[in-house]
Amino acid sequence: MPEPVAPPGRWTRFALPASAPRVRLICLPCAGGGATAYRSWVRELAGAGVDVWPVQLPGRENRFEEDLPGSMEDLVEVLLDELGPALRAAPYALFGHSMGASIALALAFGARARGLPAPVRLFPSAGRPPNRPDPDPPAHSLPKAAFAERLRAYDAGSLLLREPELLDMFLPKLRGDFALFENYRPPDEEPLDCPFTVLGGLDDASVPAALLPAWADYTRGAFEVRLVAGGHLFLDSARDAVVRLVRARLVPEAAG
């Protein structure tokens, strides 16, 4: 029987420790986003036996004053140190939205390198496949005005774009987030074995649906792409559809 494991206090938020979950779902945020994006998932999926752990990265919400590690590799090392006991104690899946999709992939490769169990499923959501980098200049290196326009293309930052003082406050944190995933290149090694369910928004102009099949290069397991209504931030606009899909893939008998 899976062991009860307490969520790491600084690195997760809103999680409710479960003594015997069917599966533990580790949720990674988008650039500029935090654990609050997954708060409602915690209780909604608990009834299906899914123990949701929203990850809280430095540089956002209650950790705003902290700095994000400077590279994906450094971040993964810290996350695996913090989450390792949970990954050993129960079957787990990884869900990551936008930037979080790259973090989820990096965590899966990092877990394999450490000899940890593999995830039972990976959910890259609204994430540009790392093997299909944006042909435009990296956003994190753009001047302020151009960076703000890139945020607009991601359907993000509407309040920040209207409030210059807020933009100045958040700009260094957002640049760090963008640098994290824009500079990430997965290890040149064998693909993962876990199944992938890739989610995309039908109206997402920043990560078009045509790019999403490229995620298949990173797995030898089952692979599917599922599209939902909405743009890049469909995690909010199509929340119910996303939660239903996650439940159906993790606990099929509870999906009705």
The residues annotated with a catalytic role in the active site are: 98
What is the per-residue DSSP string for 110-179? HHHHTTPPPPSEEEEES---TTS--SSPPGGGS-HHHHHHHHHHTT--HHHHH-HHHHHHHHHHHHHHHH
Q: Which two tokens mark 177?
A: 């987030």
Q: Answer whether 90's CB lies under 8 Å from 24's CB.
A: yes
Radius of gyration (Cα) for the chain, nearest Å?
17
Q: Which two tokens mark 113?
A: 């390198």
Residue 89: CB atoms within 10 Å: 15
Give the residue from 81, 90, 78, 85 showing the smallest Cα distance to 51. Answer: 90
The three-class DSSP label of residue 93 is: strand
Q: Answer whether 126's CB lies under 8 Å from 200's CB.
A: yes
Residue with tokens 């074995």: 193
Give the residue from 69, 75, 71, 61 showing the smallest Cα distance to 32. Answer: 61
